Structure 1
């Protein structure tokens, strides 16, 4: 009987200690993301780093913190602006001290479904992306050690790290995971196109004709409900004069990938001008005019263009119709998204 009482006492003590110990799971539930049935499955990294209530709050706070840059002048959100579908309206990224980057800022949307990140697909896991702008000279020009030194004694951050991870320790891995959790919630799936797919709306006559043109002349690259097949292609766009630019070949070291870039999603394309890997085109119309007029030839030019005399022929009416359809991919609720 005495031994039984001792065992019960030990168990009671352990239970009390466990209840008093900060635990990220106690009041930090997973967030249910509103994904339509017709969307693809999450990528495997999302499953391993599912967004949680406080993880997302922490990630958004980190995303907007200008202390990530060497001079405390820019944050991730300085380039990735909600009103531009988390892109910006500059031809190329602009970092600290007005330094100009190599490429146009890509929008951030539906990251949870992507296989590659960046124009050249250099990142396969979103949790590995945040370090790149932090250390890049033309962007934040800082280091993760410096970032941690700046924020680790911030009482608000200490509270959020404890709520998310169970203690106040600020580590690189926790920073990257939290930012990724926030980005995974940036899902755009409520455009007019989506409402049509859900039988909640109908295309206008010009939008329907534009959708038909799109299916004939654009869908081979911009396929799936993400409006990208996530492939890398050389489509004969004007070449970036920066000698450091080789496109996908920067990653693969294979000249067969020279000036090939990840096919961008067309969701929210109305908000993300200018277009192209270094902002070559100021408007959607200018992109269509370029395809219609004939693209640059290249040994690795995409077969769809190579086999069609380097053109996607479009009449003036088709261009108007196509733009009308592309605007149905705009998601006004997404560009005003806040947590």
Structure 2
């Protein structure tokens, strides 16, 4: 009995020591991991999320930070100011609008299903979601602040002190803890309950028009918009009108490779009904306008995607096919997601 008791004490000591060395092990035993509503066979988590699993208070802290306007220099906007839930956490501006009405470089991307993404931002500049929140905080056209300024503003907030202790074991606010918490909240933003999903689960059926649209989609769109997220997460130049801002170069801004010039990450089509305008800087006001452009012919480019090159720089679509495609894409709308 004595040996067993000594062994138990030793195990406890080792456990506590491990907790003090690894912030991924949260001290509060009443901070359970959240059970996320992911359909079976959906997609695997990305590797960073596996090390930063959303917890009850971690996600709560992240949401509080996400909606806090003190993250901006003049306390006028929060992350939620641009990432609006009713718009699938995007907005309806061609380009993002920051403090003092400053106009950003690109359209605000929706932030759904980030748990499964391999990279973030239109150009894939961030490979881990935990490294992304600093970008809008310090960008001149967005929040124009600094993480140290943010910490100074919220350090005396009792609500934050309570949550940081519940999540991390003490009240200390650090940049890394802020980023992890925001990422945890964003990991919970899962959209997988559209009509399309229910059709695949044999709970509903497509209309004749939607079914035809799905057929057209599998013939002419699925090479890029594949998988459960309706994106293969690749970067492609598809000949869209070019942003006149000279700071823009697409993926080439990250890689420095001219072969990536004006290539952008293929967007997910989930909830596309709610995220107009479309394109990296809101080039198209509607899905019909976007499909018309693709049918009429896209811009020539040396690195134009092969699908367009093989079809005369266009995706040939009849008016009936366009109508059907739009009908199908609307089946990807998740009403519960935008109103949860």
The 8 Å contact of residues 96 and 138 in structure 1, kept in 2 or not, is answered as: yes
| Structure 2 counterpart of 1:30 | 33
Say whether 1:277 aligns with 2:280: yes
One of 222, 225, 228 as aligned partner of 2:228: 225
CA distance in 1 between counterparts of 2:155 and 2:203 reads 48
- TM-score normalized by the length of structure 2: 0.93
Whole-Å separation in 2 of the counterparts to 1:140 and 1:181 = 21
What CA distance in whole angstroms lies between the structure 1 residues aligned with 2:163 and 2:27?
A: 10
The structure 2 residue matched to 1:245, chosen from 243, 248, 251, is 248
Contact 1:59 / 1:178 at 8 angstroms: preserved in 2?
A: yes
Q: Tell me what 1:163 maps to.
A: 166
CA distance in structure 2 between the aligned counterparts of 1:86 and 1:37, rounded to whole angstroms: 24
Equivalent residues in 2 for 1:36-185 (5 A)?
36-185=39-188
Structure 2 CA distance for aligned equivalents of residues 112 and 160 of structure 1 = 23
Aligned residue number for residue 236 of structure 1: 239
Q: Paired residues, what number? A: 326
Unaligned runs of 5+ in 1: none
Find out whether 1:313 has 2:316 as its counterpart: yes
SS at match of 2:329: helix
- Secondary structure of the structure 1 residue equivalent to 2:89: coil
- Partners of 1:43 and 1:196 in 2: CA distance: 27
Distance 2:147 2:171 in 1: 17
How many Å separate the matches in 2 of 1:104 and 1:300?
Answer: 22
Deviating above 6 A after TM superposition, structure 1's stretches of 4 or more consecutive aligned residues are none
CA offset at residue 247 of structure 1?
0.4
- Kindly provide the CA deviation profile for residues 90-112 of structure 1, in whole angstroms up to 9, marking residues without a partner as x: 00000001000000000000000
Distance 1:189 1:113 in 2: 12
Structure 2 unaligned segments of length 5 or more: list them: 21-25
Cα distance in 1 for residues equivalent to 2:62 and 2:339: 18
The match for 2:212 is 209
Q: Residue in 2 aligned with 1:292?
A: 295
Query: Are 1:266 and 2:305 an aligned pair?
Result: no
- SS of residue matched to 1:230: coil
